[in-house]
Structure 1
Amino acid sequence: MTQAILQLPLASSKRPVRCVNAEARKLRIALYSHDTMGMGHMRRNLMISQALSYSNLQTNILMITGAHQASAAQMPPGVDCITLPSLRKEGNGNYLPRSLDIPVEDLKGIRAQMIRASITAFEPDIFIVDNVPRGALNELDTTLRDIRRQRQTYCVLGLRDVLDEPEQVKTEWRKAGNEEVINKFYDKIWIYGDPNVFDAVREYKMTRDIANKVSYTGYFDRRIRFEQHTEHTTKPSRSEFNLPGGRFVLCMAGGGQDGAPLTKIFARATFPADMFGVIVTGPFMPPEMKAELHYMAASRTNLKVLEFVNKPTFLIHQADYVIAMGGYNVVSEILSFEKHALIVPRTTPRHEQRLRAERLKALGIIDVILPDQLTPEGLSAWMENASRYPSAPSVHAQIDFAGLSRLPALVNEICQIKQ
């Protein structure tokens, strides 16, 4: 197999990176997401995989994810996934097995061995880790040491726009030894945001060595993913969700693990006369909460409850207004389509969603209400007021949304493969 060895500015090991001649073997890219609360990390990696798969790069892509819902997603060409036994994150920040009745350390060991075996067998040229440098419960440590010793894989840490309050990030990174791990094992950091919204390098006072690894990609424009998806697959329609025609308000609870309060209040709100409401519970909402929402919807003719939806972008595209929690993915989707939106950010165990929502509210492109201020009357009033102002917020003129378009160039920059 013909390979070119390129000397690039790397992590402290100064190792050579194996970049594959496109004529000899397709570029192999592995992506990891721990997925312990919701599905945001997995969905972000799926979007990255799609952007690279449909680019001019010749790739084979392996996703390693803690969300078994990934297996229900329609994978782009040349993309496959391995799902790990799942963890869940409690409100206090601790991890527990989501399904298996075994000690968490045993589950960590299983996941760590699966990750290590997958990376060893796949031999990726690039390994992209989402958000957690050492993985959940440090499950990536052995794999990262293997990669460094073999000196054949370029490691990228992908971070969302906002992590948490700066002091909290500082404390967590110091406790986890993240700066040392990043300096030792990671060659590049991609921040999936716009520094004009939140400048993570400045806000988190990153050291010069770490800051030098950073590239801001811009936010991910979901319109690109939506167009690519509909171009290569059967176009979605409202009939798939048993939705009638007409205008509607969409309420999204993220993964659903802590989304019940928002959805129950939405189910009691009054919708504008010409609109109906749609709730997406998320797959992790407790069954008794889902049953309660279905019971509430049964007494109304203008309310529909959906559970797990593997095409949420279509619903956001179709909706007239969106009321949602403030996770990175759903906010990016809302902004991509320039929807009227009310964000109800999660405030525990992290303040990431609140910080993001406050910055975007300051730009005048979303409205925000905190969970402890949420009432049916407040939601009803917001929807009524939104119906009086039909013009969409001007998002793309203010925020960089070229992230998905830039990713192939960033990969090409790493390996300098001639397309």
Structure 2
Amino acid sequence: MPRSSVTRTVPRIALYSHDTMGLGHIRRNTLLAQTLIRPPLSADVLLVSGIRESGAFPLPKGIDSITLPAYQKQPDGSYRPRALGLSLQELIDLRARTILAALTAFAPGLFIVDNVPRGALAELDTVLPVLRARGTRIVLGLRDIIDTPDVVARQWEKQQNASALEQWFDAIWIYGDTRLYDTVAAYGLNHLHGVQVTPVGYLDASLRQEGRTEGTTSPGMAGSVLATHEPPYALCMMGGGQDGLAVAEAFARAPLPAGWRGIILTGSMMPPAARARLQALVAHRPELQLLSFSSEPLALIRAASAVVAMAGYNSTMEVLALEKNTLLVPRVVPREEQWLRARRLADLGLVHCLHPDELSPERVGAWLAGAASPSPRPRAREVLDFSGLQRVATLAAGLLQASPDNPAPPDGAPPGP
């Protein structure tokens, strides 16, 4: 199909996130989409998400979404269908066909793939060559840290990611700052041929457009999210919640500073038995509130006096962007990503970090007591680059303006005549 088929007055951009664990991928893509619909691009944006909760996220005019039937990632890193009684291969085929049909009809000029070049379980293998043949520009967006370099090298070799990138992709955008982690050097991205690699800086979550804050209280709990915005309170959050019970339970058993309340945001993917266990603890502590899900947690974070969280990319960027006094308790399996991020941020003095092996109600309570009278600490914006959204808009414009015979120049500058 000729290039003109994907060149329009109003550009079309599609963003894919596989979303097999947690809510971070769709939240990151939603933030990017809100940037891309604004001038100077003013694009129409289609989100392709692998998690049903994506339908609850507030989306402004110019953005819409398609939700795929979901995978669920197991503690050992394997996958299974989250809800449907299909075989794993049947679900892979269903998702791949759905993505291909949607993107063939939408015909984006730019396709941004989040984190996994070939998609979850290689479900983009039938999609990428079709888009490439149509003239669609294709970008991989990477968070700052994936895992330790040796683990990533083995994983990428097994998944043949380098060849996929060189065959189908125009660029890699790294949502990070080399002062925290040199993603390019750690993962050998400088050895890729024909792929422009650009660290763009961190994505400023404080700029995310906040729609109506929605939340769900657990059974037996009165009140709503809106009622919790009266400080002082400590907020405990753990992303999707699949493996967050230990952090939430330590918080639920920890003593709070005098006059403080505590809010636990479990995440919609916390197993029912784990949520019931937390509910039993909270039932005996009227100063605690248990919430299962919020499609937009920024308001909760913004008003919190202190935050206890796991160290996923998006949760961490939110607390840094909002300059919250934070204790990070990262997961260390099946990836060390969160531990690497939390440890380096702690070394910079931007957060406090507690290894999960050292987690206890006493340690959390002691940290909260100190948080009631916090010591001065560096501002994240004075240490790290949070200009990623602006650079993404510039790079996207450069790619959309470039033709297959006139690729976008480095750093997203407009192409020549």
1:281 corresponding residue in structure 2: 266
Q: 2:238: which partner in 1?
A: 253
Residue 321, structure 1, aligned to residue 320, structure 2: no
SS at match of 1:120: helix
Counterpart pick for 1:191 among 162, 167, 174: 174
Q: How far apart, in 2, do the equivalents of 1:309 and 1:236 lie?
A: 5
CA apart distance, 1:410: 1.4
Question: Which whole-Å CA distance do the structure 1 matches of 2:71 and 2:87 have between them?
Answer: 11
Structure 1 residue 95 corresponds to structure 2 residue 82 = no
Identity %: 42
* Mapping 1:333-352, distance limit 5 Å: 333-352=318-337
Task: Give me the whole-angstrom Cα distance separating, in 1, the residues matched to 2:343 and 2:326.
Answer: 13
C-alpha distance in 1 between matches for 2:8 and 2:78: 44
Measured at CA, do residues 213 and 18 of structure 1 come closer, stay the same or move farther in structure 2, by a change above 3 Å? farther
Q: Quote the residue 1:380 is aligned against.
A: 365
1:204 correspondence with 2:191: no
What per-residue deviation string (whole Å, max 9, x for no partner) do you get for residues 386-413 of structure 1? Answer: 2222545411100000112222111111
8 Å contact 1:17–1:154 — kept in the other structure? Answer: no
Which secondary structure does the structure 1 equivalent of 2:85 belong to?
coil
Instruction: Kindly report structure 1 stretches of 4+ aligned residues shifted beyond 6 Å.
Output: 16-19, 235-238
Q: Are 1:157 and 2:140 matched, yes or no?
A: yes
Amino acid at match of 2:169: Y
1:55, CA displacement in angstroms?
A: 3.2
TM-score by length of structure 2 reads 0.90
Identify which of 289, 297, 316 aligns with 1:304. 289
Q: Which of 32, 37, 44 is the aligned partner of 1:53?
A: 37
Name the CA distance, whole Å, in 1 between partners of 2:303 and 2:194.
39
Equivalent-residue separation in structure 1 for 2:162 and 2:212 (angstroms): 45
Letter in 2 for 1:303: L
Residue 396 of structure 1 aligns to a residue in which SS?
Answer: helix
CA contact (8 A) 2:50 2:70 kept: yes
Partner AA of 2:262 in structure 1:
G
Summarize deviations over 1:258-314 as a string: whole Å, max 9, x none. 001110111000010021111000000011211221221111121110001111111
Q: Kindly indicate whether the alpha-carbon contact (under 8 Å) linking 1:267 and 1:303 is maintained by their aligned counterparts in 2.
A: yes
Cα deviation 1:327-351 (Å, max 9, x = unaligned): 0000000000111110001111111
Q: 1:365 to 1:113 in 2, by over 3 A?
A: same
Q: Secondary structure at the match of 1:271?
A: coil
Q: 1:410 aligns with which of 364, 376, 395?
A: 395
Give 2:156's aligned amino acid: W
Counterpart of 2:7? 20
**What is the correspondence of 1:111-190 to structure 2 with a 5 Å cutoff?**
111-148=95-132, 150-190=133-173
Q: Are the equivalent residues in 2 in contact too, given 1:201–1:211 (CA < 8 A)?
A: no
SS class of match (1:189): strand
- Following the alignment from structure 2 to structure 1, what is the Cα–Cα distance between the partners of residues 339 and 213? 34
- Determine if contact 1:17/1:151 at 8 Å carries over to the other structure: no
Q: Residues 29, 292 of structure 1: CA spacing in aligned structure 2 closer, same or farther, 3 A cutoff?
A: same
Render the CA deviation track for 1:228-287: whole Å, top value 9, x for unaligned.
43xxx5688996443262301100011000001110111000010021111000000011
TM score, norm. by length of structure 1: 0.90
Q: What are structure 2's unaligned runs of at least 5 residues? A: 216-222, 403-413
Q: Does the 8 Å contact 1:327/1:353 carry over to 2?
A: yes
Residues in 1 aligned to 2:131 and 2:150: alpha-carbon distance in whole angstroms: 31
Structure 1 residues 91-111: Cα deviation after superposition (integer angstroms, max 9, x where no partner): 111110011122100000000
Secondary structure of 1:110 counterpart: helix
Compute the displacement of 1:213 (Å): 1.3
Note closer, same or farther for the CA distance 1:382–1:414 as it changes in structure 2 (3 Å cut): same
How far apart are residue 20 of structure 1 and its match?
2.6
Amino acid at match of 1:71: G
Aligned amino acid, residue 20 of structure 1? T
CA contact (8 A) 1:249 1:275 kept: yes
1:201-237: CA deviations, max 9, x gaps? 1112234335951111111112211xx43xxx56889
Partner of 1:266: 251
Q: Aligned residues, how many?
A: 396
Which shows bigger deviation, 56-65 or 182-191?
56-65
Structure 1 residues 336-368: Cα deviation after superposition (integer angstroms, max 9, x where no partner): 011111000111111110111111111111111
Letter in 1 for 2:109: D
Counterpart Cα distance in 2 of 1:109 and 1:245: 48
Aligned to 1:82: 66
Does the 8 Å contact 1:250/1:323 carry over to 2?
A: yes
Task: In structure 1, list runs of 5 or more residues that go unmatched.
Answer: 6-15
Q: Decide which of 62, 65, 76 is 2:46's aligned counterpart.
A: 62
Q: Is the 8 A contact 2:190 2:197 kept in 1?
A: no
Aligned-partner SS, 1:141: coil
Residues 1:401 and 2:386 are matched in the alignment: yes
| Secondary structure class of the residue paired with 2:294 | coil
Native 8 Å contact 1:19 1:415 kept in 2: no
Distance 1:74 1:308 in 2: 14
Matching residue of 1:12 = none
Matched residue, 1:361: 346
